[in-house]
Amino acid sequence: MNPHTQPSRTVTPPPTSPEFARTIAAAFPGTAPSLLGAGEAFAAWLLAPTPRNQTTNQPNNQTTTARAPYPSASPSPGNRPTRQVLRVQAGEGRCPLTAEAAALKLLDGKGAPALHEYRETSATSEIGLPYLLLDYVPGRVLPPQSWNREMLTAYMRMLAALHRVSGAPRGGADAAIGAPPAPERQPYSLAAAFAASLTYWESTHPQVVQENAPIISTAKRVIAGSEPYFTGERGPLPRIALCHGDACTTNVLWPDPAPAETTLSSASVPNQAERATTSAPIPALIDFEWAMFDDVARDLAILAGPVHGGPWYVPLPWESLAELVGIYVAECRRLRPDDEPEDTAALMARIRGRLALERTDMLLHLSAKAEVDAISKENGGSPLATLRQTLTHWLG
């Protein structure tokens, strides 16, 4: 060997490329990978069996989805379910899949895809990038305008079931593994969280902060008004439970057949008589990379409300959101009859602050994105313009 020749170094191909599909097929024999989609930080591949591998040992021809494996042992190819989903991290740095893997382990297939494997680093991964291997979850994402009252009710009941997992300190789900038990109700400062977010935006995109200064100023006042409900000065302390953290419409899958799609104007809350007969199927949540133990208001403030825009949020008047939260509280009492009941008024006060923080942060995010025009074309309008308009109106 020439002493001046360096040994060749394997370069991982882009995680959405045909070359990467061949890398996956080599690492998972007997599968034919196909790209499901890609976001800002992840790519998802469907692992379907090759024709000669169609017969499996799984009961009822079970389907599964591939995400990063947990524990680290790879499944035997002969026992591989019919389909799996491989969720791949596109990049290095602190692996955001860590919190997701921990959350899925805690949920153990209840209300979330079952986790089979997890590779935290590129060095330990057969495909050169961190990944999760999960059960496949059939279903489809529906646009905000298609959500009806049965769906909203079923969604709130799903969140109540998810929030049964508690007893950990606030923070990423990965930090909860092995941590000593913590009380369910814990104080913290939403104003401090907003200040930390603004510090980030000011250091990375100062022009975006300047452009949206009036909205930021008003959002600060709304958050300050809700602050006593987070510190315990008014009402009970926030209840801390496992939250999805990004439970918007694009992370909710509805099974087929889904409830009949309706116009936006009919996305109202069922009355008392209708609540007992609501028969909408329970949806499934996917993409738990933002999972953490946090105030339950975090999840409740994301999907629906008077501030909306783009494919993520269901437009809903504040009064209708309050009725939905009432359904959530009733479901929590049914699932946890021996626990302290949630104070609906205090919960709504926290949701108000959360809504101001989350939507303002999304406004800054969209303002900073170079792909805003592409997103606008895909969704038939400008998410940024709609979000800014509805946020300004609601804050005012």
Q: Are residues 279 and 233 in the same domain?
A: yes
Residues 6+ positions from 100 with CB-CB distance below 8 Å: 67, 68, 132, 173, 287, 288, 289, 291
Residue 251 is which amino acid?
N
Residues 6+ positions from 129 with CB-CB distance below 8 Å: 12, 15, 88, 89, 90, 122
Tens of pLDDT, residue by residue over 65-109, are 333 333 333 333 334 446 889 999 876 555 678 999 999 999 998
Name the band, by pLDDT with cuts 50, 70 and 90, for residue 369: confident
Q: Are residues 282 and 208 in the same domain?
A: yes
Q: Are residues 206 and 342 in the same domain?
A: yes
What distance in Å separates the CA atoms of residue 304 and residue 160, rounded to the nearest whole number?
A: 16
Tens of pLDDT, residue by residue over 339-365, are 888 999 999 999 999 999 999 999 999
pTM of the model: 0.84
Tens of pLDDT, residue by residue over 124-159, are 999 999 999 998 888 899 999 999 999 999 999 999
Name the band, by pLDDT with cuts 50, 70 and 90, for residue 16: very high
C-alpha pair distances (Å), 331 with each of 164, 328, 336: 11, 5, 8
pLDDT of residue 56: 39
pLDDT of residue 259: 59
Tens of pLDDT, residue by residue over 160-211, are 999 999 999 999 999 888 889 999 999 999 999 999 999 999 999 999 999 9
In the predicted model, what is the mean pLDDT of the chain? Answer: 84
Q: Are residues 23 and 121 in the same domain?
A: yes
Residue 3: inside a domain = no
Q: Are residues 130 and 148 in the same domain?
A: no
pLDDT of residue 37: 86
- Pairwise pLDDT comparison (267 vs 20), residue with the higher score: 20
Both tokens assigned to 46: 């469907």
Report the domain count for the chain: 2
Residue 7: inside a domain = no
| Segment 221-237 mean pLDDT | 97
| Segment 24-35 mean pLDDT | 93
Residue 174: inside a domain = yes
pLDDT of residue 260: 56
Nearest to 351 by CA among 333, 371, 376, 329: 329
Q: Are residues 92 and 150 in the same domain?
A: no
Residue 358: inside a domain = yes
Q: Which domain holds residue 213?
A: 144-395
What's the CATH number where 268 sits?
Answer: 3.90.1200.10
**CA torsion 198→202→208→210, rounded to 10°?**
90
- Looking at 135, 164, 191, which one is the last position of a domain? 135
Which alpha helices (DSSP H) does 301-380 contain, by range?
Answer: 318-335, 344-368, 372-378
